Structure 1
Amino acid sequence: MNLLSAENLSKNYADRWLFRELNFGLLQGQRVGLVGINGSGKTTLLKILAGIEPPDTGSVSTRKDTRVAFLGQQPVFDETLTVEETIFASQNDTLAAIRDYEHVVNDPNHKPADLQRVMELMDSYNAWDYESQVQQILGKLGILGELLQRNVGKLSGGQRKRVALARVLIEEPDVLILDEPTNHLDLATIEWLENRLASPSLTLLMVTHDRYFLDRVANEIVELDGGRVHRYQGNYAYFVEKKAEREQMETAEVEKARNLLRKELEWMRRQPQARGTKQKARIDAFYETQEKARTKIKGPEMELSVKTTRQGGKIIEVEHLSKKFGDKVVLDDFSYVFKKKDRIGLVGPNGAGKSTLLNMLTKQLAPDSGTVDAGQTTVFGYYTQTELQFDPSQRVIDIVKEVAEVIELADGSVVTASQFLQHFQFPPAQQYTLVSKLSGGEKRRLQLLRVLIKNPNFLILDEPTNDLDIITLNILEDFLLQFTGCLIIVSHDRYFMDALVEQVFALEPGGKIRQFPGNYTDYREWLQEQPADNAARDAEKALKSVNQASATTAPAAPAPAKRKASFAEKKEYEQLEKDLEQLESQKQDLIGKLNAGTGSHTELADWAAQLKRTDADLDTKGERWLELADLM
């Protein structure tokens, strides 16, 4: 049954229609991932469906007694309330009982009579099981102790997102609408949330750039493209495959319509004003063909291609770097000599000091002790979590021209700022739009462009995936795979990390950094295989809670005897499965031709030679597939 329905929705923003007469429905048990390019209207659609923002036309209806909860990218609170009051602000009587119980229990000076009263209240609502779930949610999100009594107006951006997420999860609504729920969460918390939201009984609509999250949580993908919705019954991997097929079919239909239009246009020019039924029908068909032929075919996707400044022998040498804030040790005696083409993923819980380390490497923050010595040819490109700063009167092209009027590409050619903006999916008409009218994702894309046009050879990306659409992420990944300089990535996007990093720097309790060869998934699998008393287990616990106390470091256990498949080997394994299926099909086709005996002598000889080559390919690839299957 439909829990939420929308009919004929239209919305205009900044003199542009995001969508017109759009229809949408959400069935009980559906877990829908909404995808689309930045600026397509995803966040606006979520707000309309949640009742936060009105549409220009159309209506949204919910089934009787259906409760809808919304988590926005920038949560809005009553700034005068505490975290505890904010989380338990629901009118639910059971939640009110849990709130009173938690308040009394956490008060070290509570009176026995107060404790007796709230326990009786908990009994009357049978709230004990619910209370244990609430405790689990608050614990996993690191909302404990003193933080519960803090005023929400004093929280950081990441803490506000966690409080808002805790509130909607605790409310247990019938429909959950989430806009980028994984932003500001550490990797372990994302994995916990992933498992919680994958429940078959949950009804969910979400926008997220996290492709692993989409794959494991969503059972349907809805794409918002050009003001229309396209539905795909399956997860993200299925969507990618079927979207490509749909676009190929649409391109073929448009090309066919354009070819037909040429013929019909000649007929229209030769004919007098239509009078007969046949002529009128043909004219009507002409206009339909004309409309189809004018459909814009998507051109080649954005390509990031900038010149990289030549890198000398000395890149960065870090010796005995240490830093602490008050009594908290963020970094303790870290040394490392960066090498050419280093591809490092920096991981750790929120507040562990990842941004602090990056700021010290770029000399924006001084260490307490130790040195950072950068080579003379090292040119930093630092993409930070700080929002793009701009004057309200500035237009998109002004932001680029502040850095460079012309940009040199990797092949040595030179393009203007306007031409380069087009590479970044900013068409000429949008280049003179005020920056203030861009969506959050478009501003982040513009910020990334400013970093890349400086031709860096040491690229630091601090949460680059936040607010970027999946299409832009795929293109950014392709660029970074070809990037010849050094690369450090801080990201909660596991797919992004797995595709790009070759070693992990993990921040552990006490300010130590563990250097691990492999990508993020390799590191997590290794952690899980370590003995419980090993330092790696302490590191895993630290990843799971921002409030984890410092732990002592024990000697590292040896790596597991059996090697796991790397990310590249996993991709090779998937490709081999497709290749073997294709080769088997070719073999059967060739056998059929040879058995039919209808070909000429030359054709028969050619088919026999092809069959021999196909068999050889099957043997070679089959052996490799078996090797990888054992690792998998």
Structure 2
Amino acid sequence: MAHLLGAEALHLEYPTKVVFEGVSLGVDEGDRIGIVGRNGDGKSSLMAMLAGRREPDSGRVTVRGGVTIGVLEQTDVLPDDLTVGRAVVGDGPEHEWARDPRIRDVLSGLLSDLDWDAAIGTLSGGQRRRVALAQLLAGDWDVLALDEPTNHLDVEGISWLAEHLKRRWAASSGALMIVTHDRWFLDEVCTKTWEVHDRIVEPFDGGYAAYILQRVERDRQAATIEARRQNLARKELAWLRRGAPARTTKPKFRIDAANELIADVPEIRDRVSLQSLAVARLGKDVVDLLDAGVAYDGREILRDVEWRIAPGERTGILGVNGAGKSTLLGLVSGAVEPTSGRVKHGKTVKVATLTQRMDELDPHLNEPVRVVVSGLRTTYTFGAGSKAQELTPGQLLERMGFASAQLSTPVKDLSGGQKRRLQLLLILLDQPNVLILDEPTNDLDTDMLAAIEDLLDSWAGTLIVVSHDRYFMERVTDQQYAVMGGGLRHLPGGIEEYLRLRAAHPQATGATARVGQTTDAAAPSASALSGADRRTAEKEVTSLERRIKKLSDQIATARAALADHDQNDYVGLGEQMQRITAMEAEVSEAEDRWFELSEQLA
């Protein structure tokens, strides 16, 4: 494959730190490279040097003649008075850019909800980011260098971007460099991984899953990496092989080697023990949303939401921006009062929310980290049963990636990722039994995400997560729901089911919380059925609605019975969960058929 660009003996340093020392590497046609590493180790600086946006202190970067490089930086520089349309396609006539399938794909994937004539200065930060990404992708580049391209994109947008990048060039042409903490995205798009660490860049073949395998092998053979990091990597590998069905169908690494490495790794979570402890701490009543609805100024945000949250439940919430996810979290936490229906909180419930604003740190900005944690409880219990362990705040800080030298740093001088980790620590040390995480992965690198996931694996309580990070969502939750059309819909098929529903019904997707209600999805102008076929379909729809309602009631009853079941009867609990899973799969199949028939009858 032809060489596109290369770096020779790169050296970069700041007054207090050497970032790179003698780094040499190259990018060839067909390369799809993910760049990973700890925050502050130089990932963005490396890509900026390769893209010609930053000069190294010594060494050089050479680019083959005629090669064009498009760069997405973490901050956009779009003029405020420029319109969305002009920013993306310039001043050319519409017939010229509209016939380009790539541009049409970019506009549909990123900007379908934006006003074409809106000024950039009137947009939110997330909208500006999408315009900057669309502007870049609309161009014709030999190499794309993307710094955190999934920031401000929802699950659908991230899925679209992955597909766009996979289709953008032929397999042996073009090149891609990506800095991102989104591990699903790395595994979906990249065929090579560069790990930035200790002033060097270490290459690995394959995407994120293959990188984890090779890193574990490297760490085991060299025996020089600290034990904690190695154990987290091995646990991460166990998740990749056991917990992500989509990946096991197309493994990017040697299965035999992976199985050997994880042979002695226990299951990710001891679900039965954790649920037993959660029941003991919470009782069987946690938070019940009963026909709950919220409306503001005559606009209905949520309606008829029926959700009985169980002790120890781990649920992920999906939905487009503005669908009502934050309102739903507010109902659960008590910050939002329903305008219809009611919300019932159990007597022992203590809800804590990890917000995106980090308000918990405001009173401590001038205090060193050591002083902040010294005023908290002296020990904290993680896990359940034989796996329970007492940890001091200092040990928790270590697990969260704080070095001893950082304990004397004032909170205001911490990096964004360090503040995020300290915020979570303060919340956990307050001992809530219901934890809400609202976009918890912001500002965290892949190693720190693995550390937080490891911490949550041994947390006994009810967990509710809103995140655009697909990997994190699948990793820490056991089930997913979607806020769609003002209601709440269970997703037995997980995020893949959500994406299918969004693709089939982009305007008003999914049923509301009461299964069997019709949706507002756009319909064809003429029915595909008539006469006897139509009457048969109408009868089947009615039958399906009754069946879905009956199964949903049975599932709710079975879940409620779990709390009253003997928590030491592991076999019985397992059998009940199998029954519930089977019924949920039957509901999903019936709902898919209901949607199919409804479209034909519309």
Report the TM-score when normalising by structure 2. Answer: 0.69
Match of 2:228 among 300, 321, 337: 300
Are residue 425 (structure 1) and residue 395 (structure 2) matched? no
Are residue 481 (structure 1) and residue 487 (structure 2) matched? no
Q: Distance in 2 between matches of 1:14 and 1:324?
A: 55
| Compared CA separation, residues 405 and 475, structure 1 to 2 (3 A) | same
Are residue 413 (structure 1) and residue 390 (structure 2) matched? yes
Shift of the alpha carbon at 1:224?
Answer: 0.8
Shift of the alpha carbon at 1:168?
Answer: 1.1
Q: Distance in 2 between matches of 1:435 and 1:78?
A: 34
Q: Distance in 1 between matches of 2:117 and 2:370?
A: 45
Q: Is the 8 A contact 1:34 1:222 kept in 2?
A: yes
Are residue 349 (structure 1) and residue 324 (structure 2) matched? no
Are residue 198 (structure 1) and residue 198 (structure 2) matched? no
Judge which range, 442-451 or 338-347, deviates more.
442-451
Shift of the alpha carbon at 1:328?
Answer: 4.5
**Partner amino acid, structure 2, of 1:149:** D
| Compared CA separation, residues 216 and 439, structure 1 to 2 (3 A) | same
| Compared CA separation, residues 524 and 168, structure 1 to 2 (3 A) | closer
Q: Is the 8 A contact 1:503 1:516 kept in 2?
A: yes
Give the paired residue count. Answer: 469
Are residue 232 (structure 1) and residue 233 (structure 2) matched? no
3-state SS of the aligned residue for 1:135?
helix
The 5 Å alignment of 1:172-211 reads 172-199=140-167, 200=171, 201-211=173-183
User: Partner of 2:495 in structure 1?
Assistant: 520
Q: Distance in 1 between matches of 2:302 and 2:13?
A: 49
**Partner amino acid, structure 2, of 1:236:** Y
Q: Distance in 1 between matches of 2:453 and 2:365?
A: 33
The 5 Å alignment of 1:152-167 reads 152-167=120-135
3-state SS of the aligned residue for 1:452?
helix
**Partner amino acid, structure 2, of 1:55:** P
Q: Is the 8 A contact 1:390 1:435 kept in 2?
A: no
Q: Distance in 1 between matches of 2:8 and 2:213?
A: 29
Q: Is the 8 A contact 1:39 1:442 kept in 2?
A: no
Q: Distance in 2 between matches of 1:163 and 1:443?
A: 29
Shift of the alpha carbon at 1:463?
Answer: 1.9
Q: Distance in 2 between matches of 1:384 and 1:206?
A: 27
3-state SS of the aligned residue for 1:7?
strand
Shift of the alpha carbon at 1:139?
Answer: 1.6
Q: Is the 8 A contact 1:458 1:485 kept in 2?
A: yes
Q: Distance in 2 between matches of 1:239 and 1:298?
A: 18
Shift of the alpha carbon at 1:310?
Answer: 2.4
Are residue 320 (structure 1) and residue 291 (structure 2) matched? yes
Q: Distance in 2 between matches of 1:396 and 1:207?
A: 31
User: Partner of 2:472 in structure 1?
Assistant: 496
Q: Is the 8 A contact 1:344 1:502 kept in 2?
A: yes
Q: Distance in 2 between matches of 1:226 and 1:140?
A: 38
The 5 Å alignment of 1:439-588 reads 439-509=415-485, 511-517=486-492, 519-521=494-496, 527=501, 539=509, 551=521
| Compared CA separation, residues 414 and 160, structure 1 to 2 (3 A) | same
Q: Is the 8 A contact 2:156 2:499 kept in 1?
A: no
Match of 1:141 among 103, 110, 116: 110
Q: Is the 8 A contact 2:369 2:411 kept in 1?
A: no
Q: Is the 8 A contact 1:28 1:202 kept in 2?
A: yes
Q: Is the 8 A contact 2:41 2:199 kept in 1?
A: yes
Shift of the alpha carbon at 1:436?
Answer: 5.2
**Partner amino acid, structure 2, of 1:480:** L
Shift of the alpha carbon at 1:435?
Answer: 4.5
The 5 Å alignment of 1:265-284 reads none
| Compared CA separation, residues 64 and 439, structure 1 to 2 (3 A) | farther
| Compared CA separation, residues 541 and 379, structure 1 to 2 (3 A) | closer
3-state SS of the aligned residue for 2:281?
coil
Q: Distance in 2 between matches of 1:233 and 1:412?
A: 38
Shift of the alpha carbon at 1:217?
Answer: 0.9
Q: Distance in 1 between matches of 2:397 and 2:318?
A: 32
Q: Distance in 2 between matches of 1:16 and 1:371?
A: 56
| Compared CA separation, residues 421 and 479, structure 1 to 2 (3 A) | closer
Q: Distance in 2 between matches of 1:65 and 1:219?
A: 25
Shift of the alpha carbon at 1:437?
Answer: 5.0
Q: Distance in 1 between matches of 2:473 and 2:374?
A: 31
Shift of the alpha carbon at 1:209?
Answer: 2.4
Q: Is the 8 A contact 1:32 1:220 kept in 2?
A: yes
Q: Distance in 2 between matches of 1:321 and 1:192?
A: 33
Q: Distance in 2 between matches of 1:144 and 1:338?
A: 33
Q: Distance in 1 between matches of 2:480 and 2:316?
A: 5
Q: Is the 8 A contact 1:395 1:434 kept in 2?
A: yes
Segments ≥4 residues shifted beyond 6 Å: 302-309, 552-559
CA displacement, residues 118-164 of structure 1 (integer Å, 9 cap, x when unaligned): x5xx3xxxx5532x432321121134552x22222332232122112
| Compared CA separation, residues 167 and 128, structure 1 to 2 (3 A) | closer
Q: Distance in 2 between matches of 1:497 and 1:244?
A: 23
Q: Distance in 1 between matches of 2:510 and 2:457?
A: 28
Q: Is the 8 A contact 2:489 2:511 kept in 1?
A: no
CA displacement, residues 199-246 of structure 1 (integer Å, 9 cap, x when unaligned): 423311002222222222111011112121111122222211111111
3-state SS of the aligned residue for 2:283?
coil
3-state SS of the aligned residue for 1:171?
coil
Q: Distance in 2 between matches of 1:541 and 1:171?
A: 39
Shift of the alpha carbon at 1:38?
Answer: 2.5
3-state SS of the aligned residue for 1:184?
coil
User: Partner of 1:222 in structure 2?
Assistant: 194
Shift of the alpha carbon at 1:28?
Answer: 1.9
**Partner amino acid, structure 1, of 2:183:** R
Q: Distance in 1 between matches of 2:371 and 2:49?
A: 31
CA displacement, residues 563-590 of structure 1 (integer Å, 9 cap, x when unaligned): xxxxxxxxxxxxxxxxxxxxxxxxxxxx
| Compared CA separation, residues 41 and 506, structure 1 to 2 (3 A) | same
User: Partner of 1:169 in structure 2?
Assistant: 137
**Partner amino acid, structure 2, of 1:472:** M
| Compared CA separation, residues 516 and 420, structure 1 to 2 (3 A) | closer
The 5 Å alignment of 1:332-411 reads 332-386=303-357, 390=362, 394=366, 397=369, 400-401=372-373, 404=376, 406-410=378-382, 411=388
Q: Distance in 2 between matches of 1:54 and 1:182?
A: 26
Q: Distance in 2 between matches of 1:427 and 1:504?
A: 35
CA displacement, residues 318-347 of structure 1 (integer Å, 9 cap, x when unaligned): 223222345643211212221112121111
Q: Distance in 2 between matches of 1:162 and 1:541?
A: 29
Shift of the alpha carbon at 1:422?
Answer: 1.8
Shift of the alpha carbon at 1:439?
Answer: 4.0
Q: Distance in 1 between matches of 2:99 and 2:76?
A: 28
3-state SS of the aligned residue for 2:430?
coil
Shift of the alpha carbon at 1:166?
Answer: 0.6
Q: Distance in 2 between matches of 1:300 and 1:444?
A: 20
Q: Distance in 1 between matches of 2:14 and 2:365?
A: 18
Q: Is the 8 A contact 1:383 1:448 kept in 2?
A: yes
Q: Is the 8 A contact 1:34 1:221 kept in 2?
A: yes
Shift of the alpha carbon at 1:523?
Answer: 5.3
Q: Is the 8 A contact 1:463 1:492 kept in 2?
A: yes
3-state SS of the aligned residue for 1:244?
helix
Report the TM-score when normalising by structure 1. Answer: 0.66
| Compared CA separation, residues 393 and 355, structure 1 to 2 (3 A) | closer
Q: Distance in 1 between matches of 2:367 and 2:40?
A: 16
Larger Rg: 1
Are residue 26 (structure 1) and residue 27 (structure 2) matched? yes
